[in-house]
Amino acid sequence: MLTSLSSAVSGLDAYQEQMDIIGNNIANLNTTGFKSATGNLVDAFSNTLQAATAATSSVNGTDAMQVGTGVTTASITNNWTQGAINSTGVASDLAINGNGFFLVKDNVTGASYVTQDGTFSLDGSGHLVTATGMRVQGASGDIVIDTTGMPPTSSPTATMVSYSINSQGVITVNLSDGTAFTRGQLVLQSFTDPQALSSVGSNLYTYSAAAGPLSAAANPGSGGLGTIQAGALELSNVDLSSQMAALIVAQRAFEANSKIVTSSDELLQDLVNMKR
């Protein structure tokens, strides 16, 4: 079988994966907190036709002769560059200005996840939750925004009229009698190798020791973590123009490899016809 045929098939596979990656990037152009990905290609194993030899006083040295066997995808890496921050005016919408991830927890399974999608809201019991119901975590566990813990100087009948979250993640509840108090504080999680995070959909990531998480989540603005910007969301960091350019390159490379397949098939057909 012609090596060119198998090499071209590997090219078709690799550039199909490239188009899959680019397609997913473009599909998530407007996904809050989405990070674009890039496929990294490397050449496949090379068949050695002649090994290199060293020159001596009486014999000239020879160079190695190798024929490659195609291409393969070595890795798919995420671009963790921060996306633009867009103001929404919604008090529960949060964006991270800098490094870090929100820590959220599934109340049913107890599993923890991280996300950079700050599209949060308050559920019926006052928990700050994600769009899928995951509970946002703070310094003391689940973040709950209500009148629990209001100061004794407040009216016993006072109700919550509003709340605010500052750049350090401190939550302040404003009561109907004009008093206010601190209800809790958000925490952020950081990683030494975010490439080791695993996406599980819904803008959530799972993590293991391979990602190098901080021993414990910390307050925003401390230990190299970013700060919180309330009433705003981080947009996708997908650059549409660069993705379209990459798509054209991948498409042309796919077409070129398909042409090699066609040419190799014609050569094989010629060999078969020589028998006749």
**pLDDT tens figures, 36-57:** 999 999 988 777 777 778 877 7
Tens of pLDDT, residue by residue over 127-151, are 999 999 999 999 999 999 999 999 9
pLDDT top residue among 188 and 215: 188
Band of residue 1 on the pLDDT scale cut at 50, 70, 90 = low
Integer Cα distance of 42 and 19 in angstroms: 16
Sign of CA dihedral 204, 207, 213, 214: positive
Of the listed ranges 62-66, 83-87, 180-184, 200-204, the one predicted with least confidence: 62-66
Asked whether the predicted pLDDT for residue 167 surpasses 70, the reply is: yes
Q: What is the DSSP letter of 154?
A: S
Backbone angles phi, psi at 197, to 5 degrees: -70, 150
Q: What single string gives the DSSP state of each residue in 33-80? A: T---EEEEEEE--EEEEE--B---SSS--B--EEEE--EEEEEEEE--
**pLDDT score at 113:** 96
Nearest to 243 by CA among 60, 39, 69, 45: 39
State pTM to two decimals: 0.86
The DSSP element (H or E) to which 105 belongs, if any, is strand 101-105
What confidence score (pLDDT) does residue 59 get? 78
pLDDT at 273: 83
* Average pLDDT of span 204-225: 89
Average pLDDT of every residue of the chain: 92
pLDDT in tens, 59-110: 787 777 877 788 999 999 999 999 999 999 999 999 999 999 999 999 999 9
Structure tokens, 63? 């160079």
> Within 10 Å of residue 176's Cβ, how many Cβ atoms?
14
The reported pLDDT for the residue numbered 203 is 95
Provide CB contacts within 8 A for 189, sequence distance 6+. Answer: 100, 101, 102, 103, 114, 207, 213, 214, 217
